[in-house]
Amino acid sequence: MRDDLDFDEDFSYSDFDDEEDDDLGITFEEDLYLMIREKLRDTVQEFKAQYPMLKKLENAISNFKVNAKNTDDSKFYPLAAKLLSEHIKPLTAESEEIEEIYNNLQTDIARFKNQRAHGHEGEFYLS
């Protein structure tokens, strides 16, 4: 009978899958997309009183819907992020703040292609 816990044997890092969080059943793509949506929501909530044009961005985000049935997560969430980006791009012409948020958003969207890329962290696109 074993009395001691051997960390290297019992908790091998090779058991963890970088692509999917087994505890929550969330893929990298879903997690990234949800993070993008959360950053957008938090940024709008934080700054909309100071920058009234962000109310248009808030409205555009809340009205955004994507329907891609029979698509797995690895394709659906990158597509949803791209469509969300295209959905809010016209607002960039109306406000420098929205343009900055849009540009910062593009940094996170690039992570769908390169998971190890560093996402955007900044003051006008909250992390």
53 occurs within a structural domain: yes
104 occurs within a structural domain: yes
Domain that holds residue 63: 31-127
Q: How many domains does the chain have?
A: 1
Which residues pair with residue 122 across a beta bridge? 125
Tell me the pLDDT tens digit for each residue of 72-124.
888 999 999 999 999 999 999 999 999 999 999 998 898 888 877 767 666 67
Q: 3-class DSSP state for residue 21?
A: strand
75 occurs within a structural domain: yes
5 occurs within a structural domain: no
15 occurs within a structural domain: no
62 occurs within a structural domain: yes
89 occurs within a structural domain: yes
Tell me the pLDDT tens digit for each residue of 57-68.
999 999 999 887
pTM, entire model? 0.73
116 occurs within a structural domain: yes
Task: Pull the structure tokens for residue 25.
Answer: 């059943």
